[in-house]
Amino acid sequence: MSILDLFKRRTSAPVARERLQLLLAYERQSRGQPDLVSILREEIMAVIAKHVQIDQDYLQVSMDRGATMSTLEIDIQIPNKSAAPLAMAG
């Protein structure tokens, strides 16, 4: 690294270009397709509802898209039966 590199300002345009390329590649592919996350959310909800009674609000489904891999995060809160009377009492 030369001493001059210290003075180089990092430019923002290349960052903009990369972010756009990544985003648009995804958006073009999913154009006209139904929203995956909401479909997953509905189906997961249906499966859980068969066995446990939960409220819609206790299920969170989110997707974080990366360049090579995406993460699907599912967060389900199931209230404990024993906690229910306490909550009611409180």
Report if residue 30 touches other proteins, rule: CB under 8 A: no
Stretch binding other proteins (CB under 8 A), from 5-13, 42-50, 71-79, 81-89: 5-13
Three-state secondary structure string covering the chain: CCHHHHHCCCCCHHHHHHHHHHHHHHHHHHCCCCCHHHHHHHHHHHHHHHHCCCCHHHEEEEEEECCCCEEEEEEECCCCCCHHHHHHHC
Among 31, 50, 51, 81, binds other proteins (CB under 8 A): 31
For residues 3 and 46, which CB has a smaller minimum distance to other proteins in the complex? 3
Report if residue 72 touches other proteins, rule: CB under 8 A: no
